[in-house]
């Protein structure tokens, strides 16, 4: 079963300020992830995931890296990831990407 890319390219070119805001948000969430790694009370993993998604939405190279990394996972894990993302979005399709 061939699944589509997890993160689809944006149909239009994003403006420079939009990409800059997304990059700044990625840096902020990455730093929050570091704080979560240093403080045992807060986990840093969700912050790292958000930072990676913001970076992927700002950069075509980062989006392609996320898609390539996801493609290397076993199909079972890929479906679990897609179901979790679909559940967050309120979508019912497990292969929603």
Residue 22 included in any domain: no
Residue 63 included in any domain: yes
Q: Which domain holds residue 85?
A: 30-89
Q: How many domains are contained in the chain?
A: 1
pLDDT score, position 6: 78
pLDDT score, position 28: 95
pLDDT greater than 50 at residue 72: yes
Residue 42 included in any domain: yes
Residue 61 included in any domain: yes
Residue 14 included in any domain: no
Structure confidence by residue, pLDDT tens digits, 74-97: 888 888 888 877 776 676 555 544
* DSSP tag of 84: H
Residue 20 included in any domain: no
Residue 25 included in any domain: no
User: Which of 2-16, 18-32, 48-62 shows the lowest per-residue confidence on average (mean pLDDT)?
Assistant: 2-16
Average pLDDT over residues 22-30: 94
| 16, 19, 77 from 44: Cα distances, Å | 29, 24, 21
Structure confidence by residue, pLDDT tens digits, 31-52: 999 988 888 777 888 888 889 8
């Amino acid at each position: 079963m061939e699944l589509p890319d997890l993160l689809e390219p944006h149909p239009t070119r994003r403006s420079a300020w939009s990409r800059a805001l997304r990059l700044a948000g990625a840096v902020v969430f990455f730093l929050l992830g570091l704080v979560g790694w240093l403080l045992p009370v807060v986990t840093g993993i969700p912050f790292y995931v958000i930072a990676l998604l913001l970076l992927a939405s700002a950069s075509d190279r980062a989006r392609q890296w996320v898609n390539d990394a996801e493609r290397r996972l076993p199909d079972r894990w890929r479906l679990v990831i897609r179901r979790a993302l679909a559940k967050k979005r309120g979508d019912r399709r497990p292969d929603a990407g």
